[in-house]
Amino acid sequence: MVSANDTATTNGAIPEAGDQPYIRVSSVWKVFGKNPERVLDPQYAGRDKSYFQSEMGNVIGLHDVSFEVGRGETFVIMGLSGSGKSTMVRCLIRLIEPTAGEIIIGGRNITDMTDKELMEFRRQNIAMVFQHYGLQPHRNVLDNASWGLEVQGMAKPERYARTKEVLELVGLAGWEESYPRQLSGGMQQRVGLARALAVDTDILLMDEPFSGLDPLIRRQMQDELLRLQDELHKTIVFITHDLNEALKLGDRIAIMHDGQIAQIGSPEDIVLRPEDEYVGDFTQDVRLESVLTASKVMVAPKATVMGHQGPRAALHTIGNSDGDAAWVVDMREHYIGMLTISGAERALRAGVKRIDEAWEYVDLEYQSVPPTTTFDALIPIAMASEYPIPCCDENNVLVGEVYRSALAKALAETSIQNTDYEANAAENAALAEESGR
């Protein structure tokens, strides 16, 4: 577990150097029952939760929780029922009052706000999406989705115009006049998401929003959220009890257990480098192919040529790379396509002077992938081609390439790592048992 002395900046690769965290949670406690502050008295240090419940009648919901969230990050808090995850997200905006600790959002101390300041902050800066959509049955889709703007006092023409744009964004254009009873569960959740997006806050708090949906609709909503986040870059705190959902959606994941943070890290960190037995048990059945991404095995491009160059230069570049093809890019390193040795040779024989004047010799359909692409998606691509897979960033700039052999090697190595972890865990358990005799 993360101790009280650990700082959130050591947990996972959060906000890049020089960046200030957008959300900072420092040593937050939530104790339920009478006189909750007494639990924090130093004389009780080291007591476990059962003592406070049986001897003092207090239940510890959050135990010295600290973490940070970067602007534009999707930060997932996950755990089983009773782990404290929903309590934590409600403490973030004081729907539940924390017993102790500090919460800073956008440089503002939430724990010091007056009721009036807090209400205004919630309206302007934060939107929430819950498992239960909270739609008003007598209002149509348009009025339900624009409810937050109505509360803010926005005039009807303006709020309707804004809301219609958001409904189109979430795939509900044409359903404006429908009522909740006429919608499927997935569509109702889209209305709830639209309502949160319409107010255009910086932060989205999402408390198990998809857990009540059937598996197919749930996957669709997860994909929809990923698409929207890629476009909108909100700061999202997402609560779930589903590890696969956490791994799919989270830039980083915090696993909670008994009101404490067990580990914070990237999906790959959580699965491949569990810090304790609890996290290791939690993640032992995760398929590596669903977690490992192109960034783990990506290497710098070995052969690139620019469109203004000729086939002779391309052949020279390919020869020096010991490969069979080169990536064609423009002056800004934007990926265009693949030029094979045979393509360059044919272009040379045809008297082509510049590659960008004879695109028929370039495979413009050879698709690139982002570095975040999982092995699940990479493996079929690699198996269908004898060439490496080009990797491009969000601006289509060529940043690397992935080889089939590297995929196989990474899977083999990580499988060995996991086996070693299980062996070490078993050995440690045996040593602990022996020392207790």
CATH number of the domain encompassing residue 302: 3.10.580.10
pLDDT on residue 411: 86
Pair (272, 305) in one structural domain: no
Residue 151 lies in domain: 8-286
What whole-number distance in Å separates Cα of residue 103 and Cα of residue 405?
A: 47
Residue 26 resides in a domain: yes
Pair (282, 303) in one structural domain: no
pLDDT on residue 65: 96
Pair (354, 268) in one structural domain: no
CATH of the domain at 26: 3.40.50.300
Kindly compute the dihedral angle of the four CA atoms of residues 318, 320, 323, 326, in this order, to the nearest 10 degrees: -30
Contact 367, 384 (CB under 8 A): no
Q: Structure pTM?
A: 0.78
Pair (307, 236) in one structural domain: no
Pair (67, 186) in one structural domain: yes
Pair (52, 186) in one structural domain: yes
pLDDT on residue 416: 61
Pair (165, 123) in one structural domain: yes
Pair (310, 279) in one structural domain: no
Domain count, the chain: 2
Residue 433 resides in a domain: no
In 63-77, which positions are buried (b, 16+ CB within 10 angstroms) versus exposed (e)?
Answer: bbbbbbbbbebbbbb
What whole-number distance in Å separates Cα of residue 412 and Cα of residue 375?
A: 13
Residue 1 resides in a domain: no
pLDDT per residue rounded down to tens, the chain (437 residues) = 333 333 333 344 434 434 689 999 999 999 999 888 888 888 888 787 888 888 888 899 999 999 999 999 999 999 998 899 999 999 999 999 999 999 999 999 999 999 999 998 988 899 888 777 678 889 999 999 998 888 888 899 999 999 998 898 888 888 999 998 998 888 888 898 888 888 888 899 999 888 877 888 888 888 888 988 988 899 999 999 999 999 999 999 999 999 999 999 999 889 888 998 999 888 888 888 888 999 989 999 999 999 999 999 999 999 999 899 999 999 999 999 999 999 999 999 999 999 999 999 999 999 999 998 999 999 999 999 999 999 999 899 999 999 999 999 988 877 665 555 454 444 444 434 444 44
Find the DSSP H helices in 127-238: 141-145, 147-151, 156-169, 185-198, 215-232
Question: Helix or strand or coil: residue 255?
Answer: strand
Pair (174, 153) in one structural domain: yes
